[in-house]
Amino acid sequence: MLLPVIGSFLPIDLVAQEPVSYAGIVIRPGDGTITYVYVPLDEPVSGIELLRRSGVSLVTIGFGAFGEGVCQIQETGCDVGTCRKNVCQTGGRESPYWRYFQVNETGAWAASPLGASGSRVEPGDIDGWSWSPDEPLLPEIEISEIPMLARAGDELDTAHVARYDANGSLIGGAPSEGVELTSYLAVTVVLSGVAVLALVLRFRRQASI
Amino acid sequence: MSSQAGIDPRAWLCWAGAALLVPLMGRNPFALASVLLAVLAVREALPPEARAGWSWVIRLGLVFGAISVLFNLLTVRAGNRVIVSIPESVPVLGGDLTVNSVVFGLLGGLAVLTLVLIGITLSAVLDWSAMLRLLPQSLTGAGVAGSVAFSFFPQMVATYREVVDAQAVRGEELRGPRDYLGLAPLLLSGGIERAVTMSELLESRGFGGAPPRRRSAWIKLCPASGLAAICVAVYGFAAGELVQALVAGAAGMGLLVVTVLASRGSDVRRTRYRSLVWQRTDWIVLLGALLAVGTVILTGRDALRYEPYPVLVWPDASLPLTIGLLCLLGPVVAILWRERAR
């Protein structure tokens, strides 16, 4: 009986659609791969904080009141010295750097007017990081796709990261392909042989004493 | 005169250098396991007297490995596989404890254990006096210092063994930490006695006995500069800076050649009672070490790398790399060959 009363006080958005308690990050390092990140989120945070919570390897430097600059995400970027001088840019028009984007109301990627330290990311938002001089070149995506693409599975209370190559195949997943399994098996057999050799040598020595 | 296992010390040094590459350069579990098993097999092939007394060092390596796992787990907060979350209000420890950090700690511990095993194998088999005689005259000073430093630990182990045996004969057994504390003065005095004996032996054999020749300051700087450049080259190689490593290595070798040339016609003429003879079995050890290094170079540094952060992924398993690294079993072949020939 009380439910309709409580429902009347809820915001329209919450009634209309199920709220999400996570945010997403899409990372494009410019080598053809795309990384999708699932980050559990219950409160608004800055873009930098979201990256930190993702567990993705990150190098940033502080610019005082301007916040932090992103030098390196995963293995792409530049060292701290270069980053401090020109945030990884070499001076040319086509020189890439880590550009920060957010999905706008129309679902398109738009360069964030604020830096990642000053931006506000809420649950349900998607941040984009592209190693690019201008265009985002990030795939269009909806927030509901993030858990699946980041391989979150049922573990929705921890961050998940999944990287895909240019063909859309998962990089660094379980060794499901035949070649990898064969390699694992072959190496294990060879190493077991060496372990047996060590044991034989040990027993041989003990027998000779 | 060869080592306890009958293998030339130069071959042993090459073997150890090749074995050290993997634990210093990467954390690939399969590559680490290959080297570890090869070193264990070599240790098992050694004569019993070369293996005795080192078990506590191995235990110490295991303890350091366990500490590495624990330290990594409690201090690293990165990774995608969370075991448990400690509230942020807990100082220092607050945050997510991850499987990734445990894996990295385990691999670090495995690398430490491998390094320890390589070190104690080399310490047990290497004939340091023979190594000293191989050095050029001008590097004798550095060689003596290095020899004393390297032989300090094996000598301490020998002293420890003697003390424990003597106490066992008297019916005393080491049980608690208090008993081990009593060993410290004995080990220290034993070490000093051995150092004095060694310095007297070296003096009586003409090491440092003659007055130094007059040389320019630049020539005097050459040995230290050469060794420093070679250290830089090794570090550069380990860090993947191959060009800088090659330049530093070439500079180091050049400086050492200058040192050797400048030291010709020394005032002290050293004689040898028995010269080292390079035998067929030494070739086996050297060839194995070279094949292992060649495989590492050909497969590239990426094959040795493994990073469990930020996402825990399966490591690469390379059969060619494994087989190449198992060429480090060369000493086993050489020792068995020699035993059969007797």
ipTM value: 0.74
Inter-chain contact B34–A183, Cβ cutoff 8 Å?
no
Same domain, A161 and A179: no
Q: Which amino acid is at A124?
A: G
* Statement: residue B123 has pLDDT above 70: yes
Q: B44 and A191 in contact by Cβ < 8 A? A: no
Residue of A nearest to B328 (CA): A194
Q: How high is the mean pLDDT of chain B?
A: 82
What distance in Å separates residue B159's CA from the closest CA in chain A? Answer: 24
Is A118 within a domain?
yes
Q: Does B96 touch chain A (CB under 8 A)?
A: yes
Are B41 and B163 contacting, i.e. CB atoms less than 8 angstroms apart?
no
- Band the pLDDT of B210: cuts 50, 70, 90: low
Unique residue bearing structure tokens 């391989």:
A151
C-beta separation of B163 from B155 below 8 A: no
Residues A46 and A134 occupy one common structural domain: yes
- Please state whether A135 falls in left (phi above 0), alpha (psi between -120 and 50) or beta: beta
Enclosing domain of residue A116: 12-171
Q: Say if residue A36 is in the same domain as residue A99.
A: yes
Residue that wins the pLDDT comparison between B31 and B75: B31
Query: B-contacting residues of A 169-198, CB under 8 Å?
Result: 172-175, 180, 183-184, 186-188, 190-191, 194-195, 197-198
Burial of A5 per CB tally in 10 Å (0-12, 13-18, 19+): exposed
- Please tell me what DSSP assigns to residue A26: E
**pTM score:** 0.62
**What is the CATH classification number for the domain harbouring A105?**
2.170.130.30
Answer yes or no: are the C-beta atoms of A161 and A44 closer than 8 Å: no
Closest residue on chain B to A39 (Cα): B80
A187/A165 same-domain check: no
Q: For residues B26 and B238, what is the distance between their CA atoms, to the nearest angstrom?
A: 9
Q: What is the pLDDT of residue A28?
A: 93
Q: How many domains does chain B have?
A: 1
Residue A1 lies in a domain: no
Instruction: Tell me whether residues B322 and A187 touch, CB distance under 8 A.
Output: yes
Residues A166 and A91 occupy one common structural domain: yes
Same domain (yes/no): A128, A209 = no
Q: Would an 8 Å CB–CB cutoff place A162 in contact with chain B?
A: yes
- Residue contact B311–A163, C-beta within 8 A: yes
- Asked if residue A166 is part of any domain, the answer here is yes
Q: Dump pLDDT digits (tens) for B160-178.
A: 888 888 888 888 777 777 7
- B145 in reach of chain A (CB within 8 A): no
Residue A195 — very low, low, confident or very high, per pLDDT cuts 50/70/90?
Answer: very high
- Using a CB-CB cut-off of 8 Å, the residues of chain A touching B88 are none
Residues of chain B with C-beta less than 8 angstroms from the C-beta of A189: none
Q: Are residues A29 and A88 in the same domain?
A: yes
Assigned domain for A4 exists: no
∠ CA(B144), CA(B150), CA(B153), 5° rounding?
135
Does B326 contact A190 at a Cβ distance shorter than 8 Å? yes
Task: Over range A123-148, report the average pLDDT.
Answer: 89
> Which residues of A are less than 8 Å from B80 in CB distance?
55, 158-161
In a domain, B259, yes or no: no
Residues A196 and A97 occupy one common structural domain: no
Cα(A187)–Cα(B303) distance, integer angstroms: 14
Q: Which residues of chain A make contact with B314, given a CB cutoff of 8 A?
A: 172-175, 180
Q: Are B295 and B320 in contact (CB under 8 A)?
A: yes
Here the tokens at position A101 are 């984007």
Q: Which residues of B touch A160 (CB under 8 A)?
A: 80
Phi-psi region of A183 (alpha: psi -120 to 50; beta: other; left: phi over 0): alpha
- Taking alpha carbons only, the member of B17, B10, B4 closest to residue B48 is B4
Residue spans of alpha helices (H) in chain A = 3-9, 12-16, 47-54, 80-86, 146-149, 178-208
| A183/B317 touch (CB, cutoff 8 Å), yes or no | yes
Q: Which percentage of chain B shows pLDDT scores above 70?
A: 87
User: Does position B4 have pLDDT exceeding 70, yes or no?
Assistant: no
Give the gap in angstroms from C-alpha B37 to the nearest C-alpha of chain A. Answer: 6
In a domain, residue B248? The reply is no
A198 in a structural domain = yes
Q: A112 with A35, same domain?
A: yes
What domain range is B147 assigned to? 9-213+266-341
Decide if B316 is inside a domain: yes
User: What pLDDT, in 10s, does the model give residues B39-97?
Assistant: 999 999 998 877 776 777 788 888 888 888 898 888 887 776 788 888 878 887 778 88
Instruction: Out of A158, A161, A198, name the one closest to residue B41 (CB).
Output: A198
pLDDT digits (tens, 9 = 90+) for A177-189: 455 788 899 999 9
Q: What is the pLDDT of residue B1?
A: 45
Same domain for A101 and A37:
yes
A141 and A189 both lie in a single domain: no
Contact of A114 with chain B, judged by CB distance below 8 Å, is answered with: no
B78 touches chain A (CB under 8 A): yes
Question: Cα separations (Å) of A63 from A52, A87, A89?
Answer: 17, 11, 16
Residue B320 lies in a domain: yes
| Model confidence at B141: pLDDT above 80 | no
> Do the chains contact at A195 and B37, CB–CB below 8 Å?
yes
Q: Look at residue A7 and tell me if it is in a domain.
A: no
Residue linked to tokens 């009380």 = A2
| Within a domain: A3 | no
- Could you tell me if residue B232 is inside a domain? no
From the centroid of its chain, how far is CA A25? Answer: 6
- B79 touches A: beta carbon within 8 Å: yes
Q: Are residues A179 and A165 in the same domain?
A: no
- Residue B33 burial class via C-beta count within 10 angstroms: exposed 0-12, middle 13-18, buried 19 and up: buried
Q: How many domains does chain A have?
A: 2
Angle at B187 between CA B182 and CA B190, to 5 degrees: 135
Strands A97-103 and A126-132: antiparallel
Residue B59 belongs to some domain of the structure: yes
Alpha-carbon Rg for chain A in angstroms: 24
Mean of the pLDDT values across residues A59-86?
82
Of A161, A175, A201, the CB nearest to B41: A201
| Whether A163 contacts chain B with CB within 8 A | yes
Please indicate, yes or no, if residue B260 is contained in any of the structural domains. Answer: no
From CA B260, how far away is CA B139, in angstroms rounded?
Answer: 8
